[in-house]
Amino acid sequence: MTLFSRQSRFSTLVLLSLTACIASTILISSAGDADARHRRGHRTRSIPQPAVPLPAVPPIPEANPRAAETPEAPKPEEKPAGGIQKADPQTTPVPDEKPAAEAKPVEKPEAPPKPAEQLGPNPLPKARAADTDEGKADHEEGAEKADPSTSPDRVYQNACPAIMNGDVQGEIIPPLSEGVCGERSPLKVTAIGKDNPVKFAAPVTTNCAMASSLATWVVEVQKEAQANFGAEIESITTGSDYQCRKVNNGHKGRVSEHAFANAVDIVSFKFKNGKTTELGSGWKGKPEEQTFWRSLHKASCDRFMTVIGPDGDAAHQGNLHLDLGCHGKKCEARICQ
């Protein structure tokens, strides 16, 4: 046998051995993979994915073709080393200089805004607010002490609605006090009636209640004046108003209602057509006078607590007494004479 045939036999044996080794290795690995897949199948079921064959040689990244096309950003031109270029006076406008004589006015500092000009609320803290209230109370107390109207000598009087509403014309006057007589809030009344006021020949001093009753009483008197004398009343003459005395100017007995500014005596009337009538002569005078005075007497009994005329007693032959005195336990009884 030749040397060449011996070498080829040896090569063939080597190849067969290698092939057998590779085949046994593949079989062993295949059995292991099958066994592993079998074990995994009991735990989880996975979706088989097709195997992607890996490239034999990894691709080499190529250069971006757009990078070559993109132009390079222009670089700023470098300025010459000589420095900043000066402006050309022929092309660049220069502002006019102000004359030296004109001095700039001095601006005054703005005053702080007043509280009313502030844009938002600025409440004080509670502690400061309390202090402010206390200070205000002290200030008001001091002002009240300094005000003469609130001094210890101040007189506390009552306002009269009849004057405030215009039912009577007059004013409140200082209190009246004479022993048991007096009135804390007396009035000086010059006219009675709101829509068609009737003047008194002389001011009458009375209390507010009496003035209010006279204001409604004169409305009925105006109607009787028109019916009997054909004219409205121009003025009324009175006798006693406020007087500190007893009844009928006696030296004993009870105190008169005149002593409390709670009574008025009516003496006569003057009408706008020039006619007049007096109680002393008219009570038994002409028919129109008799009718007028008796109608007036009746209207007075409907509005006052005490009415005494010529038929009452000798002291009232020339005056019609009107008052708001109390009669009876409940002050509801009336005296009409």
pTM above 0.85, yes or no: no
Query: What residues have CB less than 8 Å from 65, skipping those under 6 apart?
Result: none
Please work out, in degrees rounded to the nearest 5, the angle formed at the alpha carbon of residue 115 by the alpha carbons of 114 and 116: 90
Q: Is residue 248 part of a domain?
A: yes
- Dist. CA 190–CA 168, nearest whole Å: 8
Longest CA pairwise span in the chain (Å): 200
Q: Is residue 83 part of a domain?
A: no
- Dist. CA 213–CA 187, nearest whole Å: 14
Lowest mean pLDDT among 129-138, 185-194, 196-205: 129-138
Q: What is the pLDDT of residue 128?
A: 45
Q: Is residue 228 part of a domain?
A: yes
Q: What is the pLDDT of residue 159?
A: 94
Q: Which of 163, 225, 159 is nearest to 194 (CA)?
A: 163
User: What is the radius of gyration, based on Cα positions, of the chain?
Assistant: 63
Which residues constitute the domain of residue 296?
Answer: 161-336
Q: Is residue 14 part of a domain?
A: no
Q: Is residue 151 part of a domain?
A: no
**Residue 246 · residue 187 · CB < 8 Å:** no
CATH number of the domain at 325, please.
3.30.1380
**Residue 318 · residue 296 · CB < 8 Å:** no
pLDDT score of 115 more than 60? no
Q: Is residue 287 part of a domain?
A: yes
The percentage of the chain sitting over the pLDDT mark of 90, rounded to a whole number, equals 51
pLDDT score of 15 more than 90? no
Number of domains comprising the chain: 1
Residue pLDDT, tens place only, 235-285:
999 999 999 999 988 888 899 999 999 999 999 999 999 999 999 999 999
Under the banding of pLDDT at 50, 70 and 90, the label for residue 192 is very high
Q: Which residues of 172-187 are buried (b: 16+ CB within 10 A; e: fewer)?
A: eeeebeeeebebebbb
Q: Is residue 7 part of a domain?
A: no
Say how many C-beta atoms besides its own lie within 10 A of residue 225's C-beta: 25
Instruction: Summarize the confidence of residues 6-22 as an average pLDDT.
Output: 73
- Dist. CA 107–CA 268, nearest whole Å: 81
CA distances from 111 to 120, 267, 310 (A): 18, 72, 81
- Dist. CA 214–CA 264, nearest whole Å: 9
Element (H, E) at 5: helix 3-43
- Dist. CA 205–CA 286, nearest whole Å: 32
Q: Is residue 212 part of a domain?
A: yes
Residue pLDDT, tens place only, 298-311:
999 999 999 999 99
Q: What is the pLDDT of residue 42?
A: 47
Residue pLDDT, tens place only, 85-113:
454 545 445 555 555 444 455 555 555 55
